[in-house]
Chain A
Amino acid sequence: MDLFLQTLLNGLLIGGVIATFTIGFQLAFGVLHVIDFAVGGWVVLGGYLGYYMAAGLGVDGFLAIPVAFVLFGAIGYLIGPILYNVRNSRTARPELMALALTFGLFTLLRGGMLTAWGFNTHSVPTALSGESLAVGPLTVPLIRVAAAVFAVAIASGLFIFLYRTRYGLAIRATAENRQNAALMGVDIRRLSANVYGLYAGITAMAGVLMGAIFSVNPEVGLRYTLFAFFVAVLAGLGSVGGALVAALLLGVIEAFVATYVGSSYSLLAIFATLFLVLLVSPRGILRHGL
């Protein structure tokens, strides 16, 4: 029973961190209509930023979080318009071209990181690494708690931004119907750039946290892209509220398979679930609008 509770807790804590970057992913899809393969690339880059700041400058890994947001937010802001142009170009098949572009971007990031930093695995050192708290029979690693708290803060901030500000309203309107939003005076092109920047920044922040909890190497990006896809399929593409639930579910599934079956089976289980969902209910089982 203790093991069961411990596993559940671990899963929920990880699910919280996964939720942060999958919410951004859903937002980017809702506005840009592009499936971003590069999502795992941003996560890994965030992790490396944390590692190099801690190893090179000797500061705490947590300090990399705001830096990651600003740095990768800016990079995303520059890439956003390119994606927008390709997605809305007059070539024969813009949807496929945009998909190919993010796929290429992801491959470029992965190859670039492998070339620059090799296959070695690093973890992001923080003040809380290795510390843990005993709650009754359970041990709670503090780093995971901190990460989950960060995740909740980021997600709540995003929700407040989306549902309580005028700009958030414009984003939601664009996601629902871009033509009508444009008629209401929303500059879709600029908004797309901002949303992609916001998403890249949030994803890189989540990457620092992931690097602190697990570790980072260029090849794990694939795993995070898979997570984002899993959540997107379960929640329905573009659904932000569903992403939260699906991410927590994903964290729990992964934790249980890793504990009770073996960690080498966890990816297989996630893929199998993803596949079953696609077979049974291809448009997502938690469908809600933005």
Chain B
Amino acid sequence: MTSPSATAPDTRPLGSAAAGTPSGTRRGTEFEGTVTVLARQAVADDVVSLELAASSGEPLPVWQPGAHIDVVLPTGATRQYSLCGPVGDTAHWRVAVLREPDGRGGSQWIHDHVEEGGELRVRGPRNNFPLRPATRYLFVGGGIGITPLLPMIAEADAAMAEWSLLYGGRTGSSMAFLPELEGHGERVTVRPQDKHGLLDLAGFLGDPDPSTLVYCCGPAGLIDAVEAHCADWPTGALNIERFAAAAVRQPADDTAEQPIEVELRASGTTVTVPPGLSVLKAVEQAGVPVLSSCEEGICGSCETSVLEGEVDHRDSLLTEDERAANDTMLICVSRARGGRLVLDL
């Protein structure tokens, strides 16, 4: 729960595997190396923004709104932070980090140790939350979830699309980037909870509209509420990025908290699936094409033969007998019990 944008990027629904391959994930466009912290600035209570440049002085890779980078901590752990500066700027990257005292320590380390002039190891960018073309956008941001939305707003603005933003947070002083959002006037509605209570999602989202895409990033409760409000919207209209895994079906043990190894035997490759990332997404990111549709464990499109390993089934479709047979799984939601699976992919 350390990262502001995406410990568990979960963008849905993306339709076919091909359409779902996020832009910017190709290895060739990734940067892996050391960046220098050019500036560190407090932008809200417990939120610092960091301006980064390649220590070598070379330009950084281009990225698209919704992209994040991995920050590799000295402990070896990685944390994901959405890029939130200008998209076209290949000299600088900007990220914002919320100090999360109840997290696993990554954000605290950054808050306590990263100073101007210091260096960080980073990887990326990758994009699991791409902005698709539309004539109208509704953006819903909760707290630090505003970060991926900032470049999206800039892009929507540049494309002359109609857009509006509903931005919630605990208090006004906890909400980052308010000054730069002010310039957008009535398109931006800022609603700190201590003054306004819960966000009026029904009023903001309104009725389903086929020309509108909804983009939401924030804490799980907010995303769940937006999902509920968008239940009758067209497939694909709602696009979300969660800080942590969706509570699809709680596993019997704590396997959800462990990364799993998945060998794709037919492709001759093995992927590591971190907690919160689905096997499906990990397989797609490894460049292995796979069909999928609902990404909720319902439709069965992503059903995959299991060659070895014990499946932790979390779908709704398979029967108890089919689950017990352990020879097939829906990789969009199900995971592994023993930490390892071999799939016929």
Bound pair (A, B): no
Interface residues of B (CB under 8 A from A): none
